[in-house]
Amino acid sequence: MGLTSSSVLVLAMVVAVLCFGATVVWWPRLGRRSAGAVAGRVGLLLVTQVALFAAVGLAANRSFLFYGSWADLFGQEQEMGVVVDHSAGSKDLRVVGTQALDVPGGGRPAVAGQIQKVLVAGERSRISSSAYVYLPPEYFQKRYAGRKFPVSVVLTGYPGTAENLIKGLKYPRTAYLQAKEGRMQPMVLVMMRPTVAPPRDTECVDVPGGPQTETFFAQDLPKAVAETYRVGTGPRSWGVMGNSTGGYCALKIALHHPDRYGAGAGFSAYYRAAEDVTTGDLFHGDDRLRKRADLLWSLDHRPQGKSSFLVTTSKRGEDNRKGTLEFVKKVRSPARVSSITLESGGHNFNTWNREIPPGLVWMSGRLTA
């Protein structure tokens, strides 16, 4: 039974209720002052509390998808054992599975589109990572057979999983509905986590002597996707967006690579690379690299290209408001900047689900194939 499955949650709730009932029934019998009775009362309380916390934790995880599997929860990495189908695609991207959208007609690609699980092998970075590619229904329709589509890379936070973008943040479903209602153009989505060298959080930095994560996203990923799918290749055809760490990465990549990405959107983004136990030493004492990873410093000291930016914050609940206002103030022509400011909203899936629909529409308006 999977970590996010209904059966696991129901089982945990049943166990919690039974433990609570057992405590009520057995408590009078354990009211004596003997060592055995005291130990029994302590045991009942402990087991009941653990069961309750487990049920609440599983419910919260099912709602917000902090962890997608038991292996993810316990920090185990399973991606190294993927068997790759060497059929269609470029040498740098292999399709290893498909799945339907949770919409009417979801089993027919020409009606609802399709989600493909892929494995991307970075030619320059030597990084391999899995991803999910959402192809809109128009991609499979005959009248669009000669058309190329714009594409947006979508990144999770840390230590999120790519499945969160499908199940919790519902990017494919939202893109499908927004396009169907005429609010945005059909767009290919490449969904993945920024943690392409797990379990390390590389903050989308080219680490000296380590993972070349920025090279992977700026060069390898666009090349592999463009060689496999009917997508545009110019910067006006490519965008990148994400939440939290993924939001920082999206803004960073669009800012430093306007020749590759024409737009970047950061939901609840921060603006300076984190440096902590999850990242390790990202810069190896190189202050130039550390400053470059500071987006506010980069806006002040580096040329700005023609990229468009979208940043989000809230008046209550987010701690990035000051940095967001500074970012907006520092963007100058030929770059452009837009923002979303909620009255209240924390650093969570509920907030991002309120920002993603207008964010996708914004991204669609900035891209063309």
Local confidence pLDDT in tens for the 369 residues of the chain: 666 667 777 887 888 888 788 777 777 776 677 777 777 777 777 888 888 888 787 777 665 555 556 665 665 544 433 333 334 445 788 999 999 998 888 888 999 999 999 999 999 999 999 999 999 999 999 999 999 999 999 999 988 889 999 989 999 999 999 999 999 999 999 999 998 888 889 999 999 999 999 999 999 999 999 999 999 999 999 999 999 999 999 999 999 999 999 999 999 999 999 998 989 999 998 999 999 999 999 999 999 999 999 999 999 889 999 999 999 999 999 999 999 999 998 888 889 999 999 999 999 999 997
pTM of this structure: 0.78
Distance CA 338, CA 341 (A): 10
Residue 237's pLDDT is 96
pLDDT at residue 88 in the model: 45
**pLDDT given for residue 62 in this prediction:** 61
- The yes/no answer on whether domain 84-366 falls in CATH 3.40.50.1820 is yes
Closest to 245 measured CA to CA, from 340, 154, 344, 336: 154
| Cα dihedral: 73, 74, 79, 81 (round 10) | -140
CA–CA dist 279, 153 (Å, integer):
22
Predicted pLDDT at 366: 95
Position 87 scores a pLDDT of 42
Q: What is the pLDDT of residue 81?
A: 37
pLDDT score of 61: 67
Residue 310: predicted pLDDT: 96
Using alpha carbons only, what angle is made at residue 249 by residues 246 and 253, rounded to the nearest 5 degrees? 140
Distance CA 175, CA 188 (A): 9
Q: Angle at CA 136, nearest 5°, toward 69 and 79?
A: 25
| Whole-number pLDDT of residue 197 | 85
Q: How far apart are CA 200 and CA 179, in angstroms?
A: 36
Query: What's the pLDDT score for residue 41?
Result: 76
